[in-house]
Amino acid sequence: MPELTAAAAAHPNIALIKYWGNRDDALRLPANGSLSMNLGGLETRTRVTFDPALEADHLILNDAVAASGELARVSAFLDTVRQLAGIPHRAGVESWNNFPTGAGIASSAAAFAALSLAASAAAGLDLSEKDLSRLARRGSGSACRSVPGGYVEWLPGSSDLDSYAVSIAPPEHWALADCITVVSAGPKPLGSSQGHRLASSSPFQKARVAGAPRRLAQARRAILSRDFDALAQVIELDSNLMHAVMLTGQPALLYFLPGSIAVMQAVLAWRGEGLPVAYTLDAGPNVHVLCPAAEAESVRQRLARLPGVLRVLVALPGGQARWIHPPA
Ligand code: PMV
């Protein structure tokens, strides 16, 4: 019997135009298209082995046995792979992040992108980038954007078949830096899978979704023409709109901490003085501060001096998810 094992690595990504709310929760078909940058230097590595001798799936995260909720989510995802490949075997999955947990970097995108590559190859499937992105989407919506490289757009599609992500520009296209400004390493009030379900309870979600294609087109144009000022305006607006929806759903989700506000205020003031910086926040209190890579060190030092800032990690645009050979 052939070796049913494979390994892969993928980067997390930061959404510049946000995905928030699903048209279909089970298939993770998004309410709107979104756009992101992969975070180079930060990665998840995952090895999967399907084993006829196993009675249940096993999951090891950063050398520790995973909690039952995490295992259940991975097992449900592996069921999709087993169904596609027509194999019954349970699997052992081991996964390592090279970035600190609790640093406010969504790890599920990198995790499910790496798992899609590793599990599909271990199961004997030979999937295209499009089909790998569709598969990753089933684990975590934003994971579909960690499959292609560089700057990535998720085409929302109308069904499972046409909802996937494509690269709009490679990492070398534009040296932007994401200064990930950590103001809390604690757990978030609510994970994003549950958060998406609350989006439609906000009276603002309809307006946010209606304007998303226009903002996405503006952000795409700004990236393709390397226009930092245009990008800054639209990504801050889009982040504010998503948080307005979060704040006005039932129940409301308030992710901002005093440190988040201090960083946003400082970014606006610095940009007013002519420094090219812009902020965006995912479903958490930590602030992603974008700037041209040439400014990253001075921006990092400024951010580190602000009240409430615990640490600042700097990431440059990252490449596509990749297989690791041999899968050791
Ligand atoms: O992929 P999920 O279910 O973790 O959702 C991600 C949601 C945000 O990070 C808030 C926005 C995004 O587009 O990544």
Give me the helices (H) in 86-142, please: 107-122, 129-139
Domain residue limits at 105:
4-172
According to DSSP, the residues that pair with 64 across neighbouring strands are 61
CA distances from 155 to 13, 135, 161, 257, 291 (A): 16, 14, 11, 32, 26
Q: Are residues 56 and 135 in the same domain?
A: yes
Q: In angstroms, what is the span from residue 319 Cα to ligand 1's centroid?
A: 19
**Residue 312 near residue 304, CB atoms below 8 Å:** yes
Assess if residue 262 is contained within a domain: yes
Give, to the nearest 10 degrees, the angle between helix 107-122 and helix 68-85.
Answer: 40
Beta bridge partners of 288: 180, 280
What's the rounded Cα separation, in Å, for the pair 10 and 30?
21
In the reported structure, the alpha carbon of residue 164 is separated from the centroid of ligand 1 by a whole-number distance in angstroms of 14
Last residue of a domain, one of 157, 172, 187: 172
In Å, what is the CA distance from 210 to each residue of 30, 184, 218?
Answer: 13, 32, 14
Report the domain count for the chain: 2
For residues 158 and 185, membership in a common domain is answered with no
Same domain? 139 vs 222: no
> Is residue 221 located within the same domain as residue 262?
yes
Q: Do residues 101 and 154 share a domain? A: yes
Query: Within a domain: residue 58?
Result: yes
- Written as six digits, the tokens of 149 are 């490289």
Average pLDDT over residues 41-61: 97
Q: Is the pLDDT of residue 248 over 80?
A: yes
76 and 109 housed in the same domain: yes
Q: Based on the domain organization, do 57 and 127 belong to the same domain? A: yes
The protein residue whose alpha carbon is closest to atom 9 in ligand 1 is 282
* Model pLDDT, residue 1: 56
Q: 12-26, 151-165, 173-187, 236-250: lowest mean pLDDT where?
A: 173-187
Closest CA to 85 of 129, 120, 137, 132: 120
Report if residue 21 sits inside a domain.
yes
- Counting from 1 in the atom list of ligand 1, the atom nearest the Cα of 141 is 1
Is ligand 1 within 6 A of the CB of residue 190?
A: no
Q: Is 154 in the pocket of ligand 1 (CB under 6 A)?
A: no
Same domain, 59 and 77: yes
> Under a CB-based contact definition with an 8 Å cutoff, are residues 12 and 146 in contact?
yes
Give the nearest ligand 1 atom to 283 CA. Answer: 10
C-alpha 170/C-alpha 149 separation (Å) is 6
Is 321 among the domain residues? no
Residue 324 lies in a domain: no
* pLDDT at 179 > cutoff 90: yes
pLDDT on residue 99: 85
Q: Which residue has the tokens 């081991």?
A: 94
The protein residue whose alpha carbon is closest to atom 4 in ligand 1 is 192
Residue 295 has pLDDT above 80, yes or no: yes
Q: Which of 282, 286, 287 gets mutated to test ligand 1 (max ligand atoms within 8 A of its CB)? A: 282
Q: Which of 119, 141, 172 is the last residue of a domain?
A: 172
pLDDT value of residue 326: 77
Q: Which residues pair with 181 in a beta bridge?
A: 287, 312
DSSP state of 273: T
| Helix, strand, coil shares, percent, the chain, to 5 | 40, 25, 35
Do 202 and 166 share a structural domain? Answer: no
**250 and 214, same structural domain?**
yes
Smallest CA-to-CA distance from 120 within 198, 24, 212, 48 is with 48
Measured in Å, residue 34 CA sits from the centre of ligand 1 at 10
CA dist., res. 302 & res. 266, Å (int): 9
Tokens of 17: 């135009």
Q: Tell whether 326 is covered by a domain.
A: no
184 and 107, same domain (yes or no):
no
Give me ligand 1 centre to Cα 314, in Å. 20
Alpha-carbon distance of 4 to 49, in angstroms, equals: 6
d(CA 106, CA 327): 25
Instruction: For residue range 21-38, list pLDDT tens digits in order.
Output: 999 999 999 999 999 999
- Whether the pLDDT of residue 45 is over 70: the answer is yes
User: In CATH, what number is assigned to the domain containing residue 242?
Assistant: 3.30.70.890
Q: How confident is the model at residue 3 (pLDDT cuts 50, 70, 90)?
A: confident
CA 193 to ligand 1 centroid distance, Å: 8
Average pLDDT of span 223-249? 98
Look over the chain and give the mean of its residue pLDDT values, rounded to a whole number.
95
- Looking at the fold, whether 190 and 107 belong to one and the same domain comes out as no
Residue 106 pLDDT > 80: no
CATH of the domain at 74: 3.30.230.10
Q: Over 80: is that where the pLDDT of 186 sits?
A: no
Q: What is the mean pLDDT of residues 230-251?
A: 98
| Integer Cα distance of 131 and 190 in angstroms | 30
* CA atoms of 242 and 282, how far apart (whole Å): 9
- Find out whether the beta carbon of 108 lies less than 6 Å from any atom of ligand 1: yes
In a domain, 207, yes or no: yes
pLDDT of residue 238: 98
**Cα-based distances in Å from 226 to 149, 175, 189, 273, 311:** 17, 9, 36, 20, 28
β-bridge pairing 34-38 and 151-155: antiparallel
Q: Which of 135, 155, 172 is the last residue of a domain?
A: 172
Which residue among 20, 194, 243 has the greatest number of ligand 1 atoms within 8 angstroms of its CB, and so is best to mutate? 20
